Amino acid sequence: MAIPIQPKYLQRYIQIGRLLIKYGQLEMAETLGILPPGFEKEIPSQQDIDINELPRDLERLGPTFVKLGQLLSTRADLLPPEYLKALSRLQDNVETMSFETVKSIIEAELDASLSETFDYFDPCPLASASLGQVHMARLKNTYKVAVKIQRPNVKNQIIHDMKALKEIAKFMDNHTDIGKRLGFQPIVETFSRLLLKELDYNQEAVNLLELRSELKSYKNLVIPEPLLEYSSERVLTMDFIEGKKVTEITAPSSNPLLKSLGEDLFASYLQQILVSGFFHADPHPGNILLTPDNKLALLDLGMVYRLMPSSQDQIIKLLLAISESDGKQVADIAIEIGDPIQDFDEKTFRREVNALTVQSRNLTIQQLQAGSLVIDLTTLAAKTGLKTTSDLAMLGKVLLNLDQIASSLNPDFNPTLAIKSFTSTVLRSKMKASSTSLFSSLIATRSFLEQFPNRANGIMESLNEGDLTFKVNAFDEAELLRGLQKLANRVTMGLVLAAMLLGAALLAKIPTSSHILGYPSLAIFFFLLAAVGIVALVVSIFISDRKIKARIKQK
């Protein structure tokens, strides 16, 4: 059985099939039924497979697959280490849009000419990616801004690709062992939702405003402010922020300013994840700049993620257990968060998790990475048959990037110590009751204490007199069996009586020497017997129903 291929997706499926064959996944391409014509000539030998070409191949397939590669680059539960390493080099470098294309998009979206909107617009882009590119400009009031422009037709292309990928994910989950084990449909659905939101620049403007409000207490962090009157679904105008990538900084361990910046950045993300439940989901080094006034700027908030309060509580407990190197607790929480499949090897999972946490105790500060531990945990879960949620995968991705950025600012930074300190603070704040809830609890407690003596005396008196009874609404198996037996008997009797009537009707057409009222005697006998049986069955049903109603009324 192969995936049902719609003609409009045929070309995309062929391209995906070629990609799978090139990287040694012929069996998967055969299972999906997306083998390209003449595929036999494309099958490489094992030594000819060069995984380093994978990023370039994904770039050729377009923006959907570039973004998918970036997402998979931290999914150690889905891909082996060599693939993760290759995908981590995915740069999202594409050909820049021409100035004429940029100009036409801006004028169509803002309903004004470029010269009317901007005093100056740099035709050379500051950055160019698969979804759009950024230009520096100056408004009529000489205010310097960055303008982000979405590529033409990119949304339609992504919607088309996502439909094809959803069909593949559905087929894999229903017909392959790996799909049933890992569950590709939720992964693709989450990816599709995040990517389509990233294409809406109005939503990104809202994200910028929300994060600015959330992190206003962090004075060393800067989030650009969007200019809504110069923005639309495909054009986003915001503050222009100068700076250089944090990975380009030489951070001597003696620099207290950079140390403080790294700690603030990490703490701000823990605040986003564990307190607000709304966080920047793509904090790679290119999105975080060191400004000339020694602050950190967070850019590109197209991809954000939200956590439910219940998920936040589970993640808090998990991070605390990781920081304490408590293997048993880590395994317990991971199983609680995840979804064990039928052949989940819990014993192996617990043993490996314990070994992983014990190993982390012996790492130096420079080697210790909280993100790597979370990703290793999802890998162990996948190997042993425990489905993990997208929340955990996203947490691992974010923490992994933060580990790298924080260590570039402060080589002595200890992420697990920071997590332990912050999560302890969060737990203490969650344990503090509000004045309203505390007042309600006090009223309920007072009512309980006032009524307790009378209720206790009543129970003791009933116990002393021997008339203490318990009312239990339970499943009465004997009564159910009796009911089923009565039902079966009535159905059987009905069928027998119906057969007698039918037999009597057939006998009436057979000529015989004995007649009653002009009909064969045998036919009349069976007809009368069936009539008596039907009357008796109806009377029995009527009497039985009245007894049941009376019993229910009595209860």
Contact 248, 287 (CB under 8 A): no
Determine the Cα–Cα distance for residues 77 and 374; give it in Å rounded to an integer: 11
Whether the predicted pLDDT of 112 surpasses 90: yes
Determine the Cα–Cα distance for residues 210 and 406; give it in Å rounded to an integer: 23
32 versus 107: which is more confidently predicted? 107
Integer-rounded Cα Rg, in Å, for the chain is: 35
Whether the predicted pLDDT of 55 surpasses 90: no
Whether the predicted pLDDT of 542 surpasses 80: no
Q: pLDDT tens digit string along 235-276?
A: 999 999 998 887 677 655 556 778 888 888 888 888 888 888
Determine the Cα–Cα distance for residues 34 and 3; give it in Å rounded to an integer: 8
Determine the Cα–Cα distance for residues 224 and 216; give it in Å rounded to an integer: 12
Most confident of 60-74, 445-459, 529-543: 60-74
Spatial CA neighbour of 311 closest among 330, 337, 329: 337
Q: Give residue 142's region: left, alpha or beta (phi > 0; psi -120 to 50).
A: left
Specify the pLDDT at position 389: 80
Confidence tier at 229 by pLDDT (50, 70, 90): very high
Query: Minimum mean pLDDT among 115-119, 299-303, 439-443, 536-540: which range?
Result: 439-443
Spatial CA neighbour of 357 closest among 342, 344, 341, 370: 370
Specify the pLDDT at position 398: 85
Confidence tier at 91 by pLDDT (50, 70, 90): low
Q: What is the extent of the structural domain holding 269?
A: 245-432
Determine the Cα–Cα distance for residues 233 and 250; give it in Å rounded to an integer: 38
Q: pLDDT tens digit string along 169-226?
A: 898 888 888 787 777 888 899 889 888 888 999 999 999 999 999 999 999 999 999 9
Asked if residue 495 and residue 353 are part of one domain, the reply reads no
Asked if residue 416 and residue 320 are part of one domain, the reply reads yes
Which residues make beta-bridge pairs with 120? 138
The answer as to whether 460 is a domain residue is yes
Determine the Cα–Cα distance for residues 349 and 380; give it in Å rounded to an integer: 7
* Total number of domains in the chain: 3
Asked if residue 526 and residue 421 are part of one domain, the reply reads no
Whether the predicted pLDDT of 523 surpasses 80: no
Asked if residue 291 and residue 420 are part of one domain, the reply reads yes
* pLDDT, mean of residues 29-34: 85
The answer as to whether 373 is a domain residue is yes
Specify the pLDDT at position 145: 96
Tokens of 173: 């989950």
Among 467, 491, 512, which residue terminates a domain? 467
Whether the predicted pLDDT of 25 surpasses 80: yes
Determine the Cα–Cα distance for residues 151 and 12; give it in Å rounded to an integer: 20
Task: Enter the pTM of the model.
Answer: 0.69
* pLDDT, mean of residues 77-101: 80
Share of the chain above pLDDT 90, in %: 20
SS3 of residue 230 by DSSP? helix
Asked if residue 527 and residue 380 are part of one domain, the reply reads no
Contact 238, 226 (CB under 8 A): yes
Determine the Cα–Cα distance for residues 306 and 427; give it in Å rounded to an integer: 20
179 versus 21: which is more confidently predicted? 21
The answer as to whether 385 is a domain residue is yes
Query: Minimum mean pLDDT among 117-126, 344-353, 467-476: which range?
Result: 467-476
Most confident of 130-144, 253-267, 321-335: 130-144
Asked if residue 531 and residue 423 are part of one domain, the reply reads no
Asked if residue 415 and residue 295 are part of one domain, the reply reads yes
Q: How far is CA 206 from CA 129, 273, 467, in A?
A: 21, 18, 67
Determine the Cα–Cα distance for residues 551 and 548; give it in Å rounded to an integer: 5
- Dihedral of the alpha carbons of 30, 36, 38, 43, in degrees to the nearest 10: -60
The answer as to whether 119 is a domain residue is no
- Dihedral of the alpha carbons of 56, 57, 63, 68, in degrees to the nearest 10: -100
45 versus 330: which is more confidently predicted? 330
Contact 126, 146 (CB under 8 A): yes
Burial class (CB in 10 A: 0-12, 13-18, 19+), 140: exposed
361 versus 440: which is more confidently predicted? 361
Estimate to the nearest angstrom the gap between the alpha carbon of 472 and the chain centroid.
Answer: 41
Q: How many CB atoms lie within 10 A of CB 491?
A: 10
Specify the pLDDT at position 436: 46
Specify the pLDDT at position 71: 80
Determine the Cα–Cα distance for residues 52 and 89; give it in Å rounded to an integer: 9
Asked if residue 420 and residue 303 are part of one domain, the reply reads yes
Asked if residue 418 and residue 317 are part of one domain, the reply reads yes
Specify the pLDDT at position 525: 79
In 385-520, which ranges are continuous DSSP H helix?
A: 390-409, 415-431, 435-465, 477-507
- Long-range (24+ apart) CB contacts under 8 A made by 11-17 are 12/160, 12/161, 12/164, 13/164, 15/61, 16/164, 16/168
The answer as to whether 292 is a domain residue is yes
Determine the Cα–Cα distance for residues 318 and 91; give it in Å rounded to an integer: 32
Contact 199, 64 (CB under 8 A): no
Confidence tier at 280 by pLDDT (50, 70, 90): confident
Asked if residue 449 and residue 399 are part of one domain, the reply reads no
The answer as to whether 297 is a domain residue is yes
Asked if residue 424 and residue 315 are part of one domain, the reply reads yes
Spatial CA neighbour of 385 closest among 353, 338, 352: 338
Specify the pLDDT at position 150: 95
Q: pLDDT tens digit string along 480-489?
A: 667 677 777 7
The answer as to whether 334 is a domain residue is yes
Kindly report the average pLDDT of the chain as a whole number. Answer: 81
Tokens of 401: 């990037």
Q: How far is CA 436 from CA 432, 440, 441, 442, in A?
A: 12, 6, 9, 10
Name residue, tokens 């999560």. Answer: 423
Asked if residue 368 and residue 328 are part of one domain, the reply reads yes
Confidence tier at 348 by pLDDT (50, 70, 90): very high
SS3 of residue 176 by DSSP? coil
* pLDDT, mean of residues 523-545: 79
The answer as to whether 181 is a domain residue is no
Tokens of 398: 């974010």
Contact 263, 216 (CB under 8 A): no
